[in-house]
């Protein structure tokens, strides 16, 4: 199926960097099983993890310490999102998710940020930045919930 053809349900783009971010995304993916899913991550090795029928895209990994790689990541992510045209963008972090939420808002998508379980004492930097651009901003630690977000609705792990 071409990525610009619509199927039933909302078009959901799930974006996560590697490691724990990816694991957490996979744990919430069943909640979107009846939607038209596509996944974006930083490693081809994760392709076998995605549910059958979901589209899969790989972008380069980057951090704030390498601005050139961030620009390449942003460009590739923008191209993917222009082709996917998501109705909803969801991320568990980090940099790829932040940029996906920003682009998603520009494209008119609803956006969801679920901060990493690993951030016990405070929100992640990406989470703090993404929060104001998310329609739904969540933390996985009750003591991090605050007025104006993020909200606590439970933990993924």
Radius of gyration of the chain (CA): 14
- Report pLDDT digits (tens) over 63-111: 889 999 999 999 999 999 999 999 999 999 899 999 999 999 999 999 9
pLDDT of residue 20: 92
> Quick check: 6 pLDDT over 60?
no
The pLDDT value recorded for residue 129 is 77
Q: What is the mean pLDDT of residues 126-132?
A: 77
Computed over every residue of the chain, the mean pLDDT equals 89
| pLDDT over 70 at 1, yes or no | no
94 or 120: whose pLDDT is higher? 94
Of 12, 68, 66, 69, whose CA–CA distance to 42 is shortest? 69
Does residue 3 have a pLDDT over 60?
no
Asked if omega into 94 is within 30° of 0 (cis), the reply is yes
Percent of the chain predicted with pLDDT > 90: 68
Owner of token pair 């490691």: 19
What is the distance between the alpha carbons of residues 151 and 11, in angstroms, rounded to a whole number?
A: 24
Determine the average pLDDT of the residues in 104-125: 83
Which residue ranges form the domains of the chain, and what is each CATH number? Answer: 11-152 (3.40.50.2000)
């Amino acid at each position: 199926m071409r990525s610009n053809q619509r199927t039933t349900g909302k078009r959901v783009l799930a974006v996560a960097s590697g490691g724990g971010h990816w694991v957490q995304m996979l744990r919430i993916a069943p909640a979107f099983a009846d939607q038209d899913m596509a996944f974006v991550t930083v490693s081809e090795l994760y392709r076998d993890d995605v549910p059958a029928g979901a589209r899969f895209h790989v972008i380069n990994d980057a951090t704030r310490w390498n601005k050139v790689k961030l620009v390449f990541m942003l460009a590739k992510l923008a191209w993917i999102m222009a082709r996917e045209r998501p109705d909803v963008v969801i991320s568990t972090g980090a940099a790829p998710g932040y940029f996906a939420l920003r682009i998603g808002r520009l494209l008119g998508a609803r956006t969801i940020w679920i901060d990493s379980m690993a951030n016990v004492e405070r929100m992640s930097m990406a989470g703090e930045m993404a929060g104001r651009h998310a329609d739904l901003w969540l933390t996985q630690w009750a003591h991090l919930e605050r007025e104006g977000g993020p909200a606590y609705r439970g933990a993924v792990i």
